[in-house]
Structure 1
Amino acid sequence: MITSLSIKNYALIEKLSIDFSKGFSIITGETGAGKSIILGALGLVLGKRADLTSLKNKEEKCIIEAHFEISKYNLQPFFESNDLDYEADTIIRREILPSGKSRAFVNDSPVNLQELQELSLLLIDIHSQHQTQELSEEKVQFEIIDAIANNIDSILEYQSLLKSYKSDKSKLNLLLKKQAESYKEQEYNTFLLNELVESNLKSGEQEVLESDYEKLNNVEIIKESIDKSLAIANEEQIGVMPNLKEIKVSLQKIATYSTEYSSLLERITSLTIEFDDISDELNRCADKLFNDPEQLELISQKLQLIYNLQKKHQVSTVDELLEIQTKLENSVLELGNLEQEIASLTNSIQEKTATLDNLSKEIHDKRVKAVPVLSDQLVSILETLGMPNVRFKMDINPTMTYFENGKDELQFLFSANKGTDFGLLKKVASGGEMSRIMLAVKAILAQYSKLPTLIFDEIDSGVSGEIANGMGEIMKEMSQTMQIFAITHLPQIAAKGTAHFKVSKATVGEDTLSELRLLSNEERVVEIAQMLSGTVVSDSALNHAKALLN
């Protein structure tokens, strides 16, 4: 429960510090006095977004701090999972700097707004008139039924599985689309792959084939040139080789006379050996030369095949063709892997579908059992609030659709009077009836939740007299097990509180300030009397106020 709230430099509040007690606390004040400011400040502590308009003095920072006694509410797991220090007296502080930046702390550890909002859901429920209208929404109606049905854990498990199921479905759809596109390309890719495989290409063979082709295609010219070269080299009288040998013999005769001549002899000897080797190589080339039209044709066909493939695939080398062949082989393998992945995802989806169906059936069955419990309790409470003929009809119908909270659709029907047909709550219930129904719902839910604090912000809209008295009794009863605040304009409700706070607004010089203070017993009598009769308090109003308080 909240034990204290301090506010500095927020809206019309310059500085405020107030302590709260357990039980049933009342907050009253004239319209515009600042009750919404108090709730706004508390909202900032609980994680709502802020801006510079929140600052009273734009040159100073705004600080809002709230203390919560949480020892009885088993919140240690939340603090551990968010790496926060757990304290029985937990302090939440929110700061808004003049720059517009905002900071939040839990027990002096910085937290982000999402963490703060998650913690606030475990601490306080602020119920406003706007939330009363939400009662007509199917989502909220399901939340009420599920709280009574003890479905929360099952729904969390269902939602986690549903998220995984939707992820699998999304992946499967992408894979199926990819598979369909792959099938369209597969036939052509297979044709291209077979064409390359059958070509039996080898790295570097194009250069060899082109060389062999040139040799075979020009065999006569090559043979003529080699034969001529051999003739010049080896002609007995005028050939290069005989002349080199004669030069060598001549130099041998004078080599001993000078290093210069011996060097020349070495060089001519080396040249003779090299030329002799060239001559031998020419002979070998001549021996290998033969006219083979069939081989020439085979080489020509293979080269033409390579050229055609290069043109088709827009490349210039055999190595690039081999890379394309590898890619085509991989694409065929990928299609096989794709089919395996699709099969695996399909099996996963089938398993999750079965589990989701079982969970949704379990959720449905528990809802069906909870409906008469909720209906009976609502009727019982509302009979005390001036609705003796109220009836509810809640039809829970299973569907084939996976919703966020199961597979059910809900019709929450309502009839306030005898002889009137059931109708949708949002269409047939008046504002006053909705306020009473919402209070009844909160009273019932209080039995099933361990929420420390509940704040009713003018839930008494549209009611008065004995109905208001009954609503006050219900809130008072709820305060036996939780901390209750009621912001109200009705004296019948205000008189039920164990503590009474008043919000007021005053002009100080050129400034307007709001304050919140705890009323004494005497001040409380006057406040309730003013709520009964207006600004001028009569003796009868004072006596009536005392009677209400007693």
Structure 2
Amino acid sequence: MLTALGIKNYALIEDISLDLTENFSIITGETGAGKSIILGALSLLLGKRADLNAIRDSEKKCVIEGHFLIAEYGLKSLFESNDLDYEDETIIRREILPSGKSRAFVNDSPVKLSNLSTVGNHLIDIHSQHETLSVGSTNYQYRILDIVAQNADISKEYQANFKKFQVLKQEFETLKIQQQKADEAYDYNLFLLTELEEAKLKPGIQEDWESTQNKLSHVEELQERIGTSVNLFEDESIGIITQLREANQNFQKVFQLDSSFKDLSERISSVLIEMEDISQETQNEFEELEVNPVLLEDINSKLENLYNLQKKHHVDNIENLIEIQSELEEKVSLKQNAEAELKKFEKAISEQKSKLESIAKELYKSRKNTTKIIKTSVENMLADLGIEDAQLKIESEFTGEFAARGADHFQWLFSANKGNALQDIKKVASGGELSRITLAIKSLLAQYDNLPTIVFDEIDTGVSGDVANKMGLIMQDMAKSMQVISITHLPQIAAKGEKHFKVFKTTVNQKTQSNIKVLSKEERLQELAEMLGGDKTSDSAMAHAASLLK
């Protein structure tokens, strides 16, 4: 329930505050006084985009703030799913800065307009004059069916499975396109893959081949130089090792005579051991060296093939070739395994379709079962509202064609007069009839939809007299279980409210501004007398107004 509304620096409003604690509040005022401005401010709280032109004083910010008591409406999970702080008394605020930037807050935490709109749709239902036409909207008609049928859970289940069905079909179509492309390139890709597979590519193999090639290409020079080195190490007369051994023996004796030479003696001994090890390894390498033209030719052939492959695929290393080979394997595999993969998808789609169809039928059945309830309720209420011969028929069919809202079709047919053929409701209902149909439906929905607040903006258009009085009684009855705010120009409805606000214009410092005030009992009598079209000072007008209040 909306308990308070504050509006600052918005359109013709300087600064007003409304206390809306009662269940049924009335707002009246002359045309152009500013009633629509209040609706505009409420719309901003529900996430409507802001207009910089709405700022009254361009040097100050515009602030709209609403206080809502929502403890009884089970909205905690909604707040949590939108990552919003929940409070039993929730405050929503919109600000439009002079720069044109708009900000929104829920319980003082900044929020996106999309989140604000989601929450706002569960707090207030604003029904403006042009929205009487929504009765003919297919989306609105489905919303009525689902609210009365209490279809929230099954609708969510259908939506989730419909989305999964759509994803599977999209993936299937994508796979078919990929398969078609794979078919077209299969032979060429297979040829390229075979070339790469025959090359037996491995990480690091190019470096190994190039090293072996270099070694075999210079084997004679290597033999000469390594052989010379072996002779320098091992020559019996002048070899490095022979001389090191002699030096080592000398220092062994020096160390025995003077212990201060211990370190030098150990170092020479260590060098001797290292040189003997180097000499042995050099000898081993020398013995393994041999001219091998057959191996060299094989290595040259492999490297030439490898370089040609790199040139062909526009890469400069073997790792890139291995990546290309992996990609080609996937493409070839897609072609080779496509039939099995397509059958797998076809099976999954078929299973999902069966599941979706089962849910859609359940959804259709629950909707169809509500059509009689809606028909009876609306026709009875329209009879009370002066359309005694009104007929409403909701035709239904399970089409099996899956759409976002289900796999069925409902057509709402209406006739206001006996003997007239039933036709599509949006084509045959007049403005006054649409107003009464809308109120009848809103009254029905109030029994099923736990909505805190509903705002009627001149829903009484096209009616008067006894019908207006009955419309007021219906709103009064709705207000027993929810908050109802009615902006009206009819005294019969205005008299039914618990609290009566009047919007009026004044001129301050050569500038027009809208104001709103709560009417006292006497002021309310005068307002109703004026709305009746009489002289508010005459006894008859005042008596008529008083009779309405009773």
Normalising to structure 2: TM-score of the pair?
Answer: 0.79
Distance 1:507 1:310, change over 3 A: closer
Is the alpha carbon distance of 1:329 and 1:476 closer, same or farther for their aligned partners in structure 2, counting shifts above 3 Å?
Answer: closer
What's the counterpart of residue 383 of structure 2? 383
Normalised by the size of structure 1, how large is the TM-score? 0.79
Q: Is the 8 A contact 1:206 1:318 kept in 2?
A: no
* SS in structure 2 of the partner of residue 135 of structure 1: helix
Distance 1:426 1:299 in 2: 85
Question: Matches of 2:316 and 2:543 in 1, distance apart?
Answer: 108
- Which residue of structure 2 lines up, in the alignment, with residue 475 of structure 1? 475
Aligned amino acid, residue 549 of structure 1: L
SS of structure 2 residue aligned to 1:189: helix
Partner residue of 1:238?
A: none
Q: What secondary structure, in the 3-state scheme, does the structure 1 residue paired with 2:444 have?
A: helix
Tell me the amino acid that sits aligned with residue 30 of structure 2.
E
Answering whether residue 509 of structure 2 is matched by residue 512 of structure 1, we say no
Aligned match of 2:120: 120
Structure 1 contact 148–370 (Cα < 8 Å) conserved: yes
Q: Please tell me whether residue 548 in structure 1 is matched to residue 545 in structure 2.
A: no
Distance 1:318 1:469 in 2: 89
**What one-letter code is carried by the residue in structure 1 that aligns with 2:433?**
E
1:420 aligns with 420
Indicate the SS of the match to 2:72: coil
SS of 1:544's partner is: helix
Specify the alignment match of 1:51 in structure 2.
51
Q: 3-state SS of the aligned residue for 1:460? A: coil
Q: Secondary structure at the match of 1:72?
A: helix
Q: Which residue of 1 aligns with 2:140?
A: 140
Mark the CA change 1:315 to 1:42 in structure 2 (over 3 Å): closer, same or farther. closer
- Which residue of 1 is the match for residue 60 of structure 2? 60
**Partner residue, 1:522:** 522
Give distance in 2, aligned partners of 1:535 and 1:102.
Answer: 46
CA shift at 1:162, angstroms? 1.7
| Letter matched to residue 63 of structure 2 | I
Aligned position for 2:90: 90
Distance (whole Å) between structure 2 residues aligned to residue 79 and residue 148 of structure 1: 24
User: Shift of residue 345 of structure 1?
Assistant: 4.1
CA distance 1:547–1:337, change in 2 (3 Å): same
Is the contact made by 2:26 and 2:497 (CA closer than 8 Å) also made in structure 1?
yes
Cα displacement (A) at 1:24: 1.6
CA shift for structure 1 position 196: 5.3
Task: Tell me the residue number matched to 2:242.
Answer: none
Equivalent residue for 1:42? 42
Aligned residue in 1 for 2:494: 494
Q: C-alpha distance in 2, partners of 1:141/1:197?
A: 64
**Pair 1:289–1:90, CA change in 2 (3 A):** closer
Task: Report what 1:404 is aligned to.
Answer: 404
Q: Distance in 2 between matches of 1:337 and 1:190?
A: 14
Distance 2:123 2:512 in 1: 32
Aligned to 1:235: none
CA displacement, residues 163-216 of structure 1 (integer Å, 9 cap, x when unaligned): 2322232222212211110121112222343455567789669989999xx99x
Match of 1:274 in 2: none
Farther-moved stretch of structure 1 (429-438 vs 110-119): 110-119
SS at match of 1:541: helix
State the alpha-carbon separation in 2 of the partners of residues 66 and 327 from structure 1: 60
Give the aligned residue type for 2:5.
Answer: L
Query: What is the correspondence of 1:172-321 to structure 2 with a 5 Å cutoff?
Result: 172-194=172-194, 197=197
Specify whether residues 310 and 82 from structure 1 end up closer, same or farther in structure 2 by C-alpha distance, changes over 3 A only. closer
Bigger mean CA offset, 336-345 vs 172-181: 336-345
CA pair 417-209 structure 1, distance change in 2 beyond 3 A: same
SS in 1 for 2:44: helix
Q: Name the CA distance, whole Å, in 1 between partners of 2:325 and 2:51.
A: 63
Deviation at residue 109 of structure 1 after TM alignment: 2.1
SS at structure 1 position matched to 2:99: coil
Report the Cα offset of residue 513 of structure 1: 1.3
Counterpart code for 1:24: F
Q: Return the offset for 1:415.
A: 1.0
Q: Cα distance, 1:104 vs. partner?
A: 2.0
Aligned equivalents of 1:503, 1:34: Cα separation in 2: 6
Q: Indicate how the Cα distance of structure 1 residues 433 and 206 shifts in structure 2: closer, same or farther if over 3 A, else same.
A: same
Aligned pair count?
488
Give the residue type in structure 1 aligned to 2:146: D
2:71 counterpart SS class: coil
Deviations 1:148-171 (A, max 9, x none): 111122112211222232223222
Which residue is 2:539 aligned to? 539
Amino acid at match of 1:175: L
Deviations along 1:479-513, whole A, 9 cap, x unmatched?
11111111111111111212111100111231111
CA deviations on 1:404-428 (whole Å, 9 max, x unpaired) are 1111112110111111111001111
- Given that 2:536 and 2:542 are in contact with CA atoms closer than 8 Å, whether structure 1 keeps it comes out as no
Q: Measure, in 2, the Cα distance between the counterparts of 1:483 and 1:549.
A: 20
| Equivalent pair of 1:25/1:498 in contact (CA under 8 Å) | yes
Secondary structure class of the residue paired with 1:32: coil
Q: CA distance change for structure 1 residues 29 and 312 in 2, over 3 Å: closer, same or farther? A: closer
Supply the AA of the counterpart residue of 2:25: S
**1:24 is the counterpart of 2:24:** yes
CA distance in structure 1 between the aligned counterparts of 2:105 and 2:317, rounded to whole angstroms: 67
Change (3 A) 1:206 1:473: same
Structure 1 residue 22: Cα displacement = 2.4
Offset, 1:58: 1.2
Question: Which residue identity lines up with residue 69 of structure 1 in the other structure?
Answer: L
Deviation, 1:362, is: 0.5
Q: Look up the equivalent residue of 2:458 and give its one-letter code.
A: E
| Cα shift at 1:400 | 2.8
Instruction: Please say if 1:331 is aligned against 2:331.
Output: yes
Partner of 1:254: none
| Aligned residue number for residue 228 of structure 1 | none
Give 2:453's aligned residue: 453
**Aligned residue for 1:255?**
none
The whole-number CA distance in structure 1 between the counterparts of 2:213 and 2:41 is: 88
Alignment check: 8 A CA contact 2:8 2:16 kept: yes
| Cα gap change, 1:24 to 1:199, in 2 (>3 Å) | closer
Partner of 1:99 in structure 2? Answer: 99
Whether the 8 Å CA contact 1:10–1:62 is kept in 2: the answer is: yes
Aligned residues: CA RMSD: 3.6
Contact 1:530 1:537 in 2 (8 A): no
Consecutive unaligned residues in structure 2, runs of 5 or more: 221-237, 239-285
Which protein shows a greater Rg? 1
Matched residues in 2 for 1:135 and 1:479: separation? 22
